[in-house]
């Protein structure tokens, strides 16, 4: 089967008409960020922010037109809205002001700083790491479950667009339902509501999106989801300090952040970068979690400090933030995460679950203090070129 080309895709999209402009979507300059890789296609449809919801049929039509092309294995099209009204041609670069509006239907409320308020959600916590491979998602899932065990109404958002792992860790499959065709209903299990890009695309489909598409997808998963009444929304952030992380800090009134690291120095260096990013965007860091703090030998229970001892604790002391706790490198935690049966949900009284419950208790104390001082209206953003 021949590989699909950019010209093939442009030709297919040229058959889709935009009623507002009277032109096809390519000629109207609505197609942006086109990426083609080994049969997987991604692009954004740039529309007027005031007409986000109205343009959903247009997005679907574009996606279906490309999906019918021979050689196309998957198509991901997202709506992107910008305040400025530039109309560049498909696939070409263009400049924007820093004030972006990735809204979809304009239903979300915004503060004067441009941060989006999610109706019904009292607090939002970001669980972040400076690098991948430190077990951030395992901590995020079990933290969310532990907060629920402690009596809070909890939601869990998988913001790791390139490597969503919440569906597998929570043992959830299938696409979310919608009552009105506009807002998605979160998938619920173990008493918490969840949303992930992993519910919307196949597990083996690579995410080949550029920055604006990632930002748009993140915004949709928050604003276009019927979260209901939540005491706290736990956000599993992608690793690093790039576009997605800045979008979360800029668009969402984060109540606080939890930074996850392992004890080894190379991980701590990157964790410091994550800490610095939250400081620069004026998001309070509740504290640091040391994951894989030590290995517990099966049978004997002997502790081995494979990656070093106490590195994250010392870093927390140096940075002047709370050390939330340490989580061991334990086979049971790993196995239950892989099988969709997280340890806090399925074995809450076990030794393996205790560290997460203690971390959740300390995070809860930070939450109560933060909310007692009044809900944050969203961070002020300071971006250096």
- The pLDDT score that the predictor gives to residue 268 is 73
- The pLDDT score that the predictor gives to residue 276 is 79
- If asked whether residues 39 and 163 sit together in one domain, one would say no
Range of the domain at 89: 6-106
- The pLDDT score that the predictor gives to residue 148 is 95
Which residues of the chain register pLDDT less than 50?
A: 82-114, 208, 374-385
Residue pair 47/79 in contact (Cβ under 8 Å)? The answer is yes
User: Looking at the domain assignment, is residue 380 inside a domain?
Assistant: no
Burial class of residue 225 (count of CB atoms within 10 Å of its CB; 0-12, 13-18, 19+): buried
- The pLDDT score that the predictor gives to residue 229 is 95
Q: In the structure encoding, which two tokens stand for residue 264, read together?
A: 């080894």
- The pLDDT score that the predictor gives to residue 49 is 66
User: Looking at the domain assignment, is residue 215 inside a domain?
Assistant: yes
- If asked whether residues 96 and 122 sit together in one domain, one would say no
Q: Which residues contact 27 (CB under 8 A, 6 or more apart)?
A: 14
Burial class of residue 39 (count of CB atoms within 10 Å of its CB; 0-12, 13-18, 19+): middle
CATH number reported for the structural domain that contains residue 361 in this entry: 3.40.50.300
Rounded (5°) CA angle 332-334-337? 105
Domain boundary among 57, 83, 106: 106
- The pLDDT score that the predictor gives to residue 68 is 92
User: Looking at the domain assignment, is residue 377 inside a domain?
Assistant: no
- The pLDDT score that the predictor gives to residue 163 is 73
- If asked whether residues 146 and 167 sit together in one domain, one would say yes
List, for residues 105-150, the tens digit of each pLDDT value.
333 333 333 456 788 999 999 998 876 778 889 999 999 999 999 9
């Amino acid at each position: 089967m021949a590989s699909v080309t950019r010209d093939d895709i442009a030709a297919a999209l040229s058959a889709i008409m935009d009623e507002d402009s009277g032109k096809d979507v390519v000629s109207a300059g609505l197609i942006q960020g086109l990426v083609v890789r080994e049969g997987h296609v991604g692009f954004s449809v740039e529309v007027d922010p005031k007409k986000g919801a109205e343009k959903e049929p247009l997005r679907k039509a574009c996606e279906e037109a490309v999906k019918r092309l021979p050689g196309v294995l998957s198509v991901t099209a997202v709506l992107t809205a910008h305040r400025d009204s530039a109309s560049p041609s498909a696939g070409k670069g263009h400049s924007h002001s820093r004030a972006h509006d990735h809204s979809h239907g304009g239903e979300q409320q915004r503060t004067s700083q441009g941060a989006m308020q999610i109706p019904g959600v009292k607090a939002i916590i970001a669980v972040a790491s400076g690098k991948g491979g430190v077990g951030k998602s395992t901590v995020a899932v079990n933290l969310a479950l532990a907060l629920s065990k402690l009596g809070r109404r909890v939601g869990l958002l998988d913001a790791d667009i390139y490597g969503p792992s919440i569906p597998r860790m929570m043992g959830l499959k299938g696409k979310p339902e919608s009552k009105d065709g506009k807002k998605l209903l979160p998938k619920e299990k173990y008493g918490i509501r969840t949303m992930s890009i992993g519910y919307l695309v196949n597990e083996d489909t690579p995410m080949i999106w550029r920055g604006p598409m990632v930002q748009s997808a993140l915004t949709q998963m928050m604003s276009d989801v019927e979260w209901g009444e939540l005491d706290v929304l736990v956000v599993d952030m992608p690793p690093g300090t790039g576009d997605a992380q800045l979008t979360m800090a800029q668009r969402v009134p984060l109540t606080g952040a939890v930074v996850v690291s392992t004890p080894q120095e190379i991980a701590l260096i990157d964790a410091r970068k994550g800490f610095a990013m939250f400081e620069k965007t004026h998001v309070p860091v509740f504290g640091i979690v040391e994951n894989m703090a030590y290995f517990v030998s099966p049978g004997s229970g002997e502790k081995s400090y494979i990656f070093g001892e106490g590195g994250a604790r010392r870093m927390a002391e140096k940075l002047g933030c709370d050390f939330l706790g340490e989580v061991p490198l334990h086979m049971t935690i790993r196995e239950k995460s892989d099988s969709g049966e997280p340890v806090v949900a399925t074995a809450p009284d076990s030794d393996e679950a205790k560290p997460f419950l203690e971390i959740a208790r300390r995070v809860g104390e930070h939450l109560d203090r933060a909310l007692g001082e009044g809900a944050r209206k969203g961070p002020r953003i300071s971006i250096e070129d």
